[in-house]
Structure 1
Amino acid sequence: MSGNRMSVTKRHLMSWGVGRTLPDRAESACEGAATVVLENPGHLAALLGSDLVGPHTVVLGPGVPADAEGQDAGPLVIGYEGSLSEPGGDMSIDGDFFLQSQDYATSAYMSVIGATLIRVTEQADFEAFLADADRARAEGEFAAFVTDPAVQLADVCALGAGPAGDGPRTRLYVGPDGELSTSPGGIRLGSLGDGFASVTAEWDRINAKSAHPCAVALGAVVPEDDRRRALAERPWLGRYLAALVAVRELRARGLSGIRVSGFGGRLVLAQTGRADAEDAGGSELPLLLWTDEAAYVHSPAAGRTFQIDRAAGELVETLLVCGSLDTAAAHAERDRLSRVQACFADVGVMLSAPETVGAGK
């Protein structure tokens, strides 16, 4: 397989596992799902003959014949060996790329030796995920395995990140008997042979009834009442998931001793424990992180991280906690706050909640 084709496949595979749309995919201009994973190679012909796929879809199937790959037009079909759904399973493509799938509860006791997708596969996994999130929120300690740069957490849409970016247009899973969902642990959305509009409508219908979508991706492995209750009790889970991404990025740069503002403490002690902190939730708001040497601003929306000195970090944190320049000016010099806010605004990163940008509080 060419390097370019492998790169495209990896990007689609990670999008499918995590449940986040590819950043350069224009949903309205694309037909079918962006990525489809088959369990049964015998379903390939039926899939390719349906409107579940379009010309830009990447289809991954086990044991797909070599002559199914390399086509010049239509869906890109890639064969793989192994499993993308079994906990503890490995999959490989051309013997060049390997991805391991692990269940969450046992991952803390396993060594990460390469690209790994960690899944919630049952109630025990979900409870372990919540316990790690609670500890990070209260103590600032993030589980080492889930912040490893080689790890991705699957189905984040159902764990508090929300449904934006997920759904049948982003990914589909075709189970052994042709059942359709967005993930191996997801509620059935239909069967192979159903039209794409029907599958999408079912995804919309299920989520319309949920106070905390996505109610699909883990619906077959975690009771919805339990998931909904846990997310309602932790409105900050989306921010926690964004923090995991930010910490992974800094660990990939070789950094250690990373702290995240709002998780077990603050860079500015005076901001610690504020019940009215504007950055207590909101998965798209920037995050402030720091080490002994420097501070970092991570923008989940832009997918970028900026290094700054710790003094500037204190100003950033004050703006994030206060939510507006007017309120922050009661805690730090207004001119300095304004310069920092303007500097980040110039690169598209807003340091206050969208509804309060440019307005006093």
Structure 2
Amino acid sequence: MNEELISRVGRHLRSWVTGRPPAGDTPGPEAATVVLEDSAFLGALLGSDAVGPRTIVLAPEARDGQDGRSGATVVGYEGSLSGSEGDASVGDLLFLQTQDYGVSPYMSLLGTTLVRVAGDTDFEMFLADADAARAEGRFAPFAVSPAVQIADLSGLGAHVPGDGPGTRLHVDRDGGVSVSPQGLRLGTAGDSAAALHSAWQRLNAASDVRGAVALGAAVPEEVRGPAILQRPWLARYLAALDLLRDLQTRGITEPRVSGFGRRLVPGLDSVDGALDADDPEAPFLCWTSDKSYVRVTGAGRTFQLGRHAAEITEMLLVLGSAEAVEEHAARNAANAQSGVVDRAAVEWVLAFFADKGISLVPGAPVLETTV
């Protein structure tokens, strides 16, 4: 298997696990990635319009190559990609292990690890970790490891545009089709793309909480739905995990994340209706003992800040305007930790971000150096 194909397979597998479309891919009628548990259903799948030229099909011990009928690229793998525990390899070049969320705190990470919520206990542990991060700023160490990818993000409260049959499919040992091994059944191998999309829409519409399909066979909707509704910030929590993994790859370990347990600026903890509280697209401010950073999620950029610029940026992210920042600073002027914030400094931060084409809030801030 050549380097270009193995790189493409890696991107598609990450997409298949998470539900996020592969980078640079636009979801279409056919799936971008399909994983089969049994190659006996490969023929039926390739004979349907649920796959096409943009599709990677991973099938156990299949011969690598392009299917002449559908145009899909077929890639063989060994092991298991669908079980809650196990190992898999693709072309003796790409190796993955899969484990339940509940056992992950006690397992060694030996390489790329897919972590699945495979039942109620796993889901409860996921929620407990999320609650601890939100209230105390304490993130589960395994969850922020760059080696880990948590599966089925839409089922856990993340907003994942594009998740669905146009991005991923899973075919189980009985030929049942869903978007994930833990997902509600959408149909059978060989069903049309239109039928699978229709089932996806119908099953999602039956719940008041988005993401009902991805975990529906593992966690009852009467359990999952209320838990997600009670935690409108879960999408931001999952985005924070992405941030922390990224920072670890840059050698930045154990930073504090604004809005999770505490704020950098005294007094912001008690602000009701903070603009960055729940929004997964809002930039993140985080800091260590000597440095501060802002991660602009949509742009995929990280900036290193001086302390004063970081404080102003955090106030803008939380309060949303230069006027609100001035009012907050005036109210807390007696607090020696707050420092002095004047309008010129706030406008400078806003102008810096605007010059980079980045809007942090309806108004916008920025910093100093891209990391």
Q: Which TM-score band (shorter chain)?
A: over 0.9
Distance 1:133 1:25 in 2: 30
Q: Aligned partner of 1:40: which letter?
A: D
TM-score (norm 2): 0.91
Report the Cα offset of residue 252 of structure 1: 1.2
Given the superposition, is the C-alpha separation of residues 92 and 69 from structure 1 closer, same or farther in structure 2, using an over 3 Å criterion? farther
Report the Cα offset of residue 171 of structure 1: 0.6
Residues 118 and 153, structure 1, Cα contact 8 Å, conserved in 2: yes
1:201 is aligned to: 198
Aligned 1:32-47 pairs, distance under 5 A:
32-47=30-45
Kindly indicate whether residue 296 of structure 2 is the aligned counterpart of residue 296 of structure 1: no
Given the superposition, is the C-alpha separation of residues 73 and 348 from structure 1 closer, same or farther in structure 2, using an over 3 Å criterion? farther
Aligned-pair RMSD on alpha carbons? 1.8
Residues 239 and 281, structure 1, Cα contact 8 Å, conserved in 2: yes
1:350 is aligned to: 359
Distance 2:43 2:190 in 1: 11
| Bigger Rg, structure 1 or 2 | 2
Q: Which of 224, 228, 247 is the aligned partner of 1:227?
A: 224
Distance 1:46 1:70 in 2: 12
Deviates more, 1:324-333 or 1:185-194: 324-333
Distance 1:39 1:128 in 2: 27
Distance 2:39 2:157 in 1: 33
Task: Give a deviation string over 1:139-161, Cα, whole Å, max 9, x none.
Answer: 10100000001111111111111
Report the Cα offset of residue 47 of structure 1: 1.1
Q: Aligned partner of 1:335: which letter?
A: A
Kindly indicate whether residue 12 of structure 2 is the aligned counterpart of residue 22 of structure 1: no
Identity over aligned residues, as a percent?
A: 50
Q: Aligned partner of 1:39: which letter?
A: E
Q: Which of 162, 165, 174 is the aligned partner of 1:165?
A: 162
- SS of residue matched to 1:100: strand
2:53 is aligned to: 55
Q: Which of 77, 80, 101 is the aligned partner of 1:104?
A: 101
Given the superposition, is the C-alpha separation of residues 42 and 73 from structure 1 closer, same or farther in structure 2, using an over 3 Å criterion? closer
Given the superposition, is the C-alpha separation of residues 73 and 231 from structure 1 closer, same or farther in structure 2, using an over 3 Å criterion? closer
Q: Aligned partner of 1:52: which letter?
A: A
1:261 is aligned to: 258
Task: Give a deviation string over 1:81-128, Cα, whole Å, max 9, x none.
Answer: 000111221000111110111100000000111000100000000000
Mind listing any 5+ residue stretches in structure 2 that lack a counterpart? Answer: 330-340, 365-371
Report the Cα offset of residue 63 of structure 1: 1.1
Deviates more, 1:163-172 or 1:103-112: 163-172
Kindly indicate whether residue 161 of structure 2 is the aligned counterpart of residue 152 of structure 1: no
Distance 1:345 1:216 in 2: 40
Distance 1:131 1:139 in 2: 12
Q: Aligned partner of 2:349: which letter?
A: V
Distance 1:60 1:343 in 2: 46
Kindly indicate whether residue 247 of structure 2 is the aligned counterpart of residue 238 of structure 1: no
Mind listing any 5+ residue stretches in structure 1 that lack a counterpart? Answer: none
Distance 2:210 2:238 in 1: 15
Given the superposition, is the C-alpha separation of residues 109 and 315 from structure 1 closer, same or farther in structure 2, using an over 3 Å criterion? same
Deviates more, 1:213-222 or 1:332-341: 332-341
Deviates more, 1:6-15 or 1:316-325: 316-325
Given the superposition, is the C-alpha separation of residues 220 and 324 from structure 1 closer, same or farther in structure 2, using an over 3 Å criterion? same
Q: Aligned partner of 2:138: which letter?
A: E
1:340 is aligned to: 349
Distance 2:201 2:286 in 1: 36
TM-score (norm 1): 0.93
The count of residues paired between Structure 1 and Structure 2 equals 352
Q: Aligned partner of 2:222: which letter?
A: D
Report the Cα offset of residue 287 of structure 1: 0.8
Deviates more, 1:297-306 or 1:4-13: 297-306
